[in-house]
Amino acid sequence: MLLLGTRILLKCDCLSVRFCPVPCGPSSPEVEGMLMAVRVIRAGGILLAVVLGVLLAGALPAAAHNELKSSNPAGGATLDTAPAAVVLTFAEALIQGKTTITVTGPDGANAAAGPAQLNGPTATVPLKPTAAGAYTVAYRVVADDGDVTNSNLKFTLTAAAVAPPVTTTTAPPTTTTTTTTTAPTTTTQAGTTAAAGTSSGTVWWPWVVGALVLILIVVLVLLLRRRRAGQAIP
């Protein structure tokens, strides 16, 4: 078909009539129809090649780069409560040793409490807030084919998000211990008590008895003398 169109465009300037697909001479309606068909096919081929080229050009970069699909916190978010970690989710599984993620606080200090934990396409970085302000999460991801995705996102923590927690001190309950002392009970047998009384009584009662006997003797002597003196008087 292409050979036929070439011969027609060249006005059938053939080297030999034997190889010419159509008789040389003025164009006929059949030749014009065939020429139009060749032009349509050629234009369709060119258009198809352009469309395929555009589709491939748009598909290859997307497949080559491991793009970020979502994040928590989201880029541009303002939070009153600090998250425990920053979570990034990519289009493809992340490769250990080829994934670098950093979190920087507004004061320029490192705000990551530890290294990033990779789990398939998800990376989790523990967060330690340093100050109120904008935090920058920078990431560098290398895909299987070696293409590098290097970008960052920002989120903001308010003063309430980084305020120290209020500590309430509760006094421990006071326990009062009462000690009761019970005097030992002394049991004294009756016989022992009586013996003790007798023993203590021997110290003073003989002297009292002796004094009473002596007084009684003196009184009797005086009475006898009076009586004798009364009998002696005539």
Alpha carbon distance 65, 122 (integer Å): 16
Contacts 24+ apart (CB under 8 A), 25-34: 34/1, 34/4, 34/5, 34/8
pLDDT at 15 over 50: no
Given the DSSP bridges, would you call strands 99-104 and 117-119 parallel, antiparallel or unpaired? unpaired
| pLDDT tens digits, one per residue of 78-99 | 999 999 999 999 999 999 999 9
Q: How confident is the model at residue 188 (pLDDT cuts 50, 70, 90)?
A: very low
Per-residue model confidence (pLDDT) at position 9: 44
pLDDT value for 125 = 97
38 within 8 A of 6, measured Cβ to Cβ? no
Top-confidence range, 13-27, 113-127, 165-179, 218-232:
113-127
More confident residue, 227 or 117: 117
**In this structure, are residues 61 and 78 in contact, taking their beta carbons and an 8 Å threshold?**
no
The CA distances from residue 213 to 17, 105, 208, 216, 218, in Å, are: 197, 118, 9, 5, 9
Q: Average pLDDT of 110-114? A: 95
Integer Cα distance of 125 and 153 in angstroms = 14
Cα–Cα distance measured from residue 16 to residue 80, given in angstroms and rounded to the nearest whole number: 89
> What pLDDT shows up at residue 176?
56
Take residue 181 and report the two structure tokens written for it: 């002392």
Which range among 18-22, 95-99, 119-123, 218-222 shows the weakest confidence by mean pLDDT? 18-22
Bridge partners, 229 (sequence order): none
pLDDT of res. 170: 64
Rounded Cα–Cα distance for residues 6 and 26 (Å): 15
Q: Region 168-175: what's the mean pLDDT? A: 62
Q: Give 194's pLDDT tier (boundaries 50, 70, 90).
A: very low
> 125: helix, coil or strand?
strand
User: CA 125: distance to chain centroid?
Assistant: 11
Structure tokens at 86: 């920053």
Q: How far apart are CA 146 and CA 104, in angstroms?
A: 26
Question: What would the mean pLDDT of 40-49 be, rounded to a whole number?
Answer: 74
H helix intervals, the chain: 2-9, 29-64, 159-162, 190-201, 205-232
Distances (CA, A) of 1 to 5, 22, 25, 40, 41: 6, 12, 19, 12, 10
Q: In this structure, is the dihedral angle defined by the CA atoms of residues 204, 209, 212 and 217, taken in order, positive or negative?
A: negative
Mean pLDDT of the chain: 75
Question: Average pLDDT in the 186-197 region?
Answer: 44
Question: What is the rounded average pLDDT of the residues 182-189?
Answer: 49
Of residues 59, 39, 62, the one with CA closest to residue 51: 59
**CA–CA separation, 34 vs 8, rounded Å?**
9
Lowest mean pLDDT among 26-35, 36-45, 86-95: 26-35
